Structure 1
Amino acid sequence: MPVPLIFGHRGASGAFPENTMIAFEEARNAGAAGIELDVQLTKDGQAVVIHDETLQRTTNGTGEVQDFTLAQLKKLDAGSWFATTYSQERIPSLEEVLQWMNRDGNNLRLNIELKNDIIPYDGLEEKVLALIAAYDAEERIILSSFNPDSLKRVRMLNPTIEIGYLIAGVPDLAVETAIRIGADAIHCQTEYALSRYAGKAGQAGLPLRIYTVNRPDVLMRLSEAGVDTVMTDEPGLLKGVPVHHTIRKLF
């Protein structure tokens, strides 16, 4: 049985400020197979990497991301909220991350979450797909969102890029929705992966990628359940957990 892949959730965000270049680089150094990050649009239509729609939690700015240009956002401190040591960290653009991924020795996969379930950013899908194409990165990319209409649009625009349908809790119709929008996997929480729906997803050919797993014992349970990937704030910790290959698969 394959061992679940380890993805750094917003990078190595347990020990470094989330969604910053240092967090991404440290996830790579820890041996992660990939990283997950969040993308929104600026006032001037640039794709930037930040989780919240507002700036207050992870920068020294205030207001909504969509009300600032990329140049304005680049002036903000995106690290001191975590520790003053990281005061020089800035909000990355998605293009910066793709440039970093093209450096020699960087073989990470990249899960881009389209953050358009609260603010419906017009053109987000097109802009992200254009950047991916410009850097010839499609084979290494997974696009995910809680917004099924956004993922349906991604599939309409690109019939081959990998799509993950994001869900919270244990919704009844996740498998049906994933199939309807052309998703390739379901991104879910541990309770869904250990529920009766896991078998249904497996029968439909939909691998499960689990967020956010920070405990070795939970990783072991998910490995027993045969999940594809776990996303963690602590890639260094979970990468070192011995996982058995012969435990019964649940779906």
Structure 2
Amino acid sequence: MTYSNNKSSQSNTTFSQQDNPVFNAEGVKVFYSGFLALQDVYIDIPDKQIIAFIGPSGCGKSTLLRCFNRMNDLIPGAKVEGRLNYRDRNIYDPKINSVKLRRQVGMVFQRPNPFPKSIYENIAFGPRSNGYKGNMDELVEDSLRRAAIWNEVKDKLKSKGTALSGGQQQRLCIARAIAMKPDVLLMDEPCSALDPISSRQVEELCLELKQQYTIIMVTHNMQQASRVADWTAFFNTETDKHGKRYGRLVEFSPTRQIFESPKTQEASEYISGRFG
């Protein structure tokens, strides 16, 4: 199955019923202060898979990623048009509570951002603030174990999370997101600030976590996308008649296919390094 950013082609490229998509975007556009940032996007995000967004800077990868948990709502002048369904419900319906949505669709940012609190409190703070009534010690341990960092921090849970190395901080932030029991994890270039060893640890963690979560990852590292992603979406830019650039989805295919035999010339040139 191959997807392009063309509505007419979408009718022949939908997932089968057993592949019921987590997200379904129908003509999603994003504007910043009236200027088009992302053109009509049609895409289905499959469940319990890793999806990588690749493409040159300014092509709309992070813009679309932020749509999935309405983080663009926090940007002054941002406006989203079209329909974006999360498990068959439009998340831009005025009745949708964006705070509750973000509990289901967690986010890990480009640079590790642990709270200036203890490692334990970094994990416990969110669930406690949301009324968690279970055993907090068990939740903290389980979250740190799932993020593959428990053995490194179990004897220093009272130490500040900011004292950890960069790679450990990023895994702590992933554990913090996991503690909220999300359905989806969004990752915006989660390894860009990490050394190669830490990056590899995060990649291996993602491969483990996809057993429980859908992971959507923005990355500029095509080798990383080829290693961890099941599906890859390639975005590119266009220039309007006023000279303003906007992003668009060009191709969405199984990762092996898009790297070995992309269906579009643009994707082929980008992946081969002829531009971007």
Structure 1 and Structure 2 fold alike (TM over 0.5)? no
Q: Flag the structure with larger Rg.
A: 2
TM-score, scaled relative to structure 2: 0.33
TM-score, length-normalised on structure 1? 0.35
Q: Point out which structure has higher relative CO (alpha carbons under 8 A, 6+ apart).
A: 2
1 or 2, which has the higher strand percentage? 2
